[in-house]
Chains A and B, each alone.
Chain A
Amino acid sequence: MAADSELDLWRSAWTAAVAVESPAPFDVRAAGLRQERRLRIRYLLNLAVAAALAALPLWVLRDNWRVEAVVWAAVVWITTLIATAFEIWNWRTLWRTAAHSVTEYAGVYEARCHATLRAVRFGYAFLALQLAISLPWLTLDLVRGEMTAARYIAAVIVLGTFTAIFILWFRVSRRRALAELAQVKDFLLPEE
């Protein structure tokens, strides 16, 4: 058999092998876009809630200028301002211009995972602050006789329910962010 025809014969057999399976590696670009969409929606909802919270005291105060109501309004405004300032600072990466390379996508993706974890930590602290303000306030109202026992219990139940929902949400967000972070870190592992 001539040497070249031998090589051609092998080559024809060799090139007949084509990729029958093509498992795609972790597509950080698609994952980054999904993450960005989800976080932007959440961000805008948070700002909408913050706007509603800022407007609520105005509505309450329009025919109630008691000192207690003004203090309550001030507390709501201050805490909302703190939360919103944190929100804007923490999620500044959300509005970063679109990344072009896969490495940039991975970097932004990782930064947003860390931002989610920061937001969860802030959320726990903020929740603790809210409870530290709300519970004594409600109890004080009860002691002063400005609130019936039934209303107090109802208020505590509502507060407890919201607290449980927030804690659940924080746990889910944290778990998700950690999973995403592990995924991207595994992806970015340096060469062995």
Chain B
Amino acid sequence: MLTADEKRRTCAPETEFEAVCRQFGDSLFRLACSYESAPDLRDDLLQEIRLALWKALPGFRGECSLRTFVYRVAHNRGLSHVWRRRQHARFTDDLPDVGDPQPTAESAAIGRDRLASLMRAIRRLPIPYRQVITMTLDELPQSEIANVLGISENNVAVRLNRARKLLREALGGK
């Protein structure tokens, strides 16, 4: 018996966009979690990232790896999201900090305190460090992170060291 997803795949050829969503879905979700703690806003951000990818993919010329391209688009969208949220917070003055201390939907769904703590700690990191650590945890090599962010590999290494130090402190380590 075919699953609904298998039936869909047999009926229609998978587009490049669908393949990207399937391949990088979890990474994009984690990336969205690193930029936004509120579940509804995080889903919005994830949607925005997907739309940005959908629009950007036809322009992908293979000048870098697909993964680099996807992360670049996603991080740019994440930055725009944080920027917009900060602009909005200036006027509303009632938004929680990006590092929301309340348990979030993803932690409740997954049910892992360790993940929840890690997510919160990552969200409290300054953005340049946050970007480097999340991509490192997603197993991107430093050269590729440098490519995504448009910085040197040395700079990536420096940011990673600082990010790790801050993360260790936030998680109660030495």
Q: Is the CB of A13 within 8 A of B58?
A: no
Report the nearest B residue to A14, measured CB to CB.
B137
Interface size on B, residues (CB 8 A): 39
With A25-B50, A103-B58, A187-B51: A17-B15 Cβ-Cβ less than 8 Å: no
A residues within 8 A CB of B29? 17-20, 22
A114 close to B (CB within 8 Å): no
Q: Is the CB of B28 within 8 A of A19?
A: yes
B136 close to A (CB within 8 Å): yes
Q: Is the CB of A17 within 8 A of B110?
A: yes
- Surface stretch bound by A, among B61-69, B94-102, B111-119: B111-119
Q: Which residue of A11, A15, A16, A21 is within 8 Å of B43 (Cβ)?
A: A21
Q: Is the CB of A25 within 8 A of B115?
A: no
Q: How far is the CA of A22 from the CA of B29 in the complex (A)?
A: 9
Closest-CB distance, B81 to chain A (whole angstroms): 11
A residues within 8 A CB of B30? 14-15, 17
Q: Which residue of B21, B33, B46, B173 is within 8 Å of A1 (Cβ)?
A: B173
Q: Find residues 7-66 in chain B having any chain A CB closer than 8 Å to their own CB.
A: 12, 15, 17, 21, 25-26, 28-30, 33, 43, 46-47, 50-52, 54-55, 57-58
Q: Find residues 12-62 in chain A having any chain B CB closer than 8 Å to their own CB.
A: 13-23, 25, 29
A137 close to B (CB within 8 Å): no
Binding site for B on A (CB under 8 A): 1, 3, 6-7, 10-11, 13-23, 25, 29, 101-103, 187-188, 191-192
Query: Would you list 29 pairs from A and B whose C-beta atoms are within 8 A, ordered by A residue?
Result: A3-B164, A7-B137, A11-B139, A13-B115, A14-B30, A14-B115, A14-B118, A14-B137, A14-B138, A15-B26, A15-B137, A16-B110, A16-B112, A17-B29, A17-B30, A17-B110, A17-B119, A20-B105, A20-B109, A22-B25, A25-B50, A25-B51, A101-B15, A102-B15, A102-B57, A102-B58, A188-B55, A191-B55, A192-B80
The 10 closest A-B pairs by CB, nearest first: A19-B29, A14-B137, A18-B26, A20-B109, A13-B114, A13-B115, A19-B25, A13-B118, A11-B137, A17-B30
